[in-house]
Amino acid sequence: QVQLVEFGGGLVQAGASLRLSCAASGRTFSSYAMGWFRQAPGKEREFVASITWIGASTYYADSVKGRFTISRDNAKNTVYLQMNSLKPEDTAVYYCAADENYYGSRYLEYGFWGQGTQVTVSS
């Protein structure tokens, strides 16, 4: 199993940047594909980005493409989400997720989740 803890959320103004980190412990980090999801109040959890086991491939939701970048450092057991040009509609709790076999956009397919970190973007 793997345990996930997110860091880096906060309150920023529109146009600012934030970098989220997700630290993993437990099983070998490179055994897991990783994803970032977010959930705004009253809305369903939605896919943000994902990255394959050694970072060879990355995938993004259309709403964040060109603004957000997912990356991973397997030596540090950490996955990152660099968020630039933030918009008020990016406000949500951001979760990282891990799965040994899946790296797509369906959140129900991921087996392991962090507790989430709040990102609030003011206009």
3-class SS of residue 15: coil
Q: What is the pLDDT of residue 26?
A: 86
Average pLDDT, the chain: 96
Q: What is the pLDDT of residue 55?
A: 85
The mean per-residue pLDDT over the stretch 79-90 comes to 98
Report the C-alpha gap between 93 and 24 in whole angstroms: 18
Report the C-alpha gap between 55 and 98 in whole angstroms: 13
3-class SS of residue 36: strand
Is the pLDDT at 83 greater than 90, yes or no?
yes
Q: What is the pLDDT of residue 27?
A: 80
Report the C-alpha gap between 120 and 91 in whole angstroms: 5
CB-neighbour burial class of residue 57 (10 A; exposed 0-12, middle 13-18, buried 19+): exposed
How does residue 112 score in pLDDT terms, banded at 50, 70 and 90?
Answer: very high
